Homo-oligomer: A and B are copies of this chain.
Amino acid sequence: MALKLYVDRMSQPSRAILIFCKMNKIDFEEVRIDLAKGQHRSPEFKEINPMGQVPAIVDGRFRLSESHAILIYLACVFPGVSDHWYPADLFSRAKINSVLDWHHSNLRRGAAAYVLNSTLAPVLGLPLNPQAANEAGKLLCESLSKIESIWLKGNAKFLLGNTQPSIADLSLVCEIMQLEVVNEEDRQRILDPHLKILQWIENVKNYTSPHFEEVHEVLYKVKERLQRRLSSGAKLNSKL
In the bound complex, what is the Cα–Cα distance between A146 and B50 (angstroms)? Answer: 9
Q: Is A40 interfacial (CB 8 A cutoff)?
A: no
Interface stretch, picked from A31-39, A93-101, A116-124, A218-226, is: A93-101
Q: Are A69 and B51 in contact (CB under 8 A)?
A: no
Q: Is A157 interfacial (CB 8 A cutoff)?
A: no
Q: Is A216 interfacial (CB 8 A cutoff)?
A: no
Q: Are B68 and A97 in contact (CB under 8 A)?
A: yes
Q: Give a binary string over A50-84; 1 marks a CB under 8 Å from any B CB, 0 the rest.
A: 11000000000010111111101100110000000
Q: Are A94 and B69 in contact (CB under 8 A)?
A: yes
Given A90-B76, A105-B109, are A98 and B64 also a contact pair (CB < 8 Å)? yes
In the bound complex, what is the Cα–Cα distance between A72 and B143 (angstroms)? Answer: 24
Q: Are B51 and A150 in contact (CB under 8 A)?
A: yes
Contacts of A108 in B (CB 8 A): 105
Q: Are B105 and A105 in contact (CB under 8 A)?
A: yes
Given A77-B90, A90-B76, A95-B64, are A101 and B149 also a contact pair (CB < 8 Å)? no
In the bound complex, what is the Cα–Cα distance between A68 and B70 (angstroms)? Answer: 16
Contacts of A146 in B (CB 8 A): 50-51
Q: Is A102 interfacial (CB 8 A cutoff)?
A: yes
The size bracket of the interface on A is 20 to 34
> Which residues 140-159 in A have Cβ within 8 Å of B in the complex?
146, 149-150
Partner of A66 from the list B65, B101, B149 (CB cut-off 8 Å) is: B101
Contacts of A62 in B (CB 8 A): 91, 94
Q: Is A104 interfacial (CB 8 A cutoff)?
A: yes
Q: Are A66 and B150 in contact (CB under 8 A)?
A: no
In the bound complex, what is the Cα–Cα distance between A73 and B191 (angstroms)? Answer: 33
Partner of A98 from the list B69, B90, B101, B149 (CB cut-off 8 Å) is: B69
25 contacts between A and B (CB under 8 A): A50-B146, A50-B149, A62-B94, A64-B94, A64-B98, A65-B98, A66-B98, A66-B102, A69-B94, A69-B95, A69-B97, A69-B100, A69-B101, A70-B94, A70-B98, A72-B94, A72-B97, A73-B90, A77-B90, A100-B101, A101-B104, A104-B104, A105-B105, A105-B108, A105-B109
- The 5 A-B pairs with the shortest beta carbon distances in the complex, nearest first, are A104-B104, A69-B97, A66-B101, A69-B98, A73-B94
